[in-house]
Amino acid sequence: MATDAVSEKYYLYSLASLGLTAALIPADPVLLKHGRRMGENVGFSEDHTYHNLGPLKIVPGDGGSFLYFMGNGTTFILIGTGLATYGLITNDYRAISTSVQLMQSILMSGIVAQSLKRITGRESPFITTSNGRENSLWQFFPSFSAYQKNTSAYDAMPSGHLTTGVAAWVILAENYPEKKWIKPVGITLMGLMSFEMVQSGVHWASDYPVAILLGYLIGKNIAKNAMTKTNSAGALREKKYSFSLASSYVYGNRVAGITVGF
């Protein structure tokens, strides 16, 4: 990922994301106000509400909450679980491989986004406005305890939801290139989610360019590492993962599991 960010193929995109971030920062307060006004016009609340589905609180209570959930790692865990289940039942290797890649993307997105959040220490919009200010504070390298105690005061830049969402949709598109609807649906959902996070005061618009770049590079690299090109033009052959089912006794209790090798 780091190599790609400065490679001949992608370095212009990296520069563009940094340039766009710098250009958007002065406009953030105005974009935030317009976003909230537009959110009110379409009936979106600033708050996110969810209902329980069994032990999990994952059922969105309104349209805004639904859009915000589109970048939650749980969304892609559910999609990955569905693909893995389908793949195991029908012996569809591509579905199983895609599910593993989605899990890798969630993990990598979290590591990268959290690392940068703890470096930049940018304040979330709703914290800024509640303190009567228009521009966010940047407290670089906040202490671990301060970050854990008041996370929203430091975790705006970059958007973890957008990083996770873009990475996952890139992986889905790369693994199912014949499904032409994946890209437009993914772009539309990520665009609507980005608007929702501004109107609800979760993110500034300038939190997005770097997140999009990171998500794209994460998704591309994970998909690339799971595939090898064949001699046929444009054809791809996925690298084989090995799966095995096992059953045994642990402290007198029967347990079952799946081992994935790659």
> Which residues, 6+ apart, have CB-to-CB distance to 121 below 8 Å?
138, 139, 140, 141, 142, 147, 153, 154
Record the pTM.
Answer: 0.86
Residue 231, pLDDT above cutoff 60: no
Residue 8, pLDDT above cutoff 80: yes
d(CA 48, CA 63): 9
pLDDT tens-digit series, residues 94-103: 999 999 999 9
d(CA 186, CA 96): 20
Return the percentage of the chain with pLDDT > 70, whole number: 88
**For residues 224 and 209, is the Cβ–Cβ distance under 8 A?**
no
**For residues 206 and 162, is the Cβ–Cβ distance under 8 A?**
no
> Which residues, 6+ apart, have CB-to-CB distance to 101 below 8 Å?
171, 175, 222, 223, 226
pLDDT tens-digit series, residues 234-245: 445 555 666 666
Q: Domains of the chain, with CATH numbers?
A: 2-261 (1.20.144)
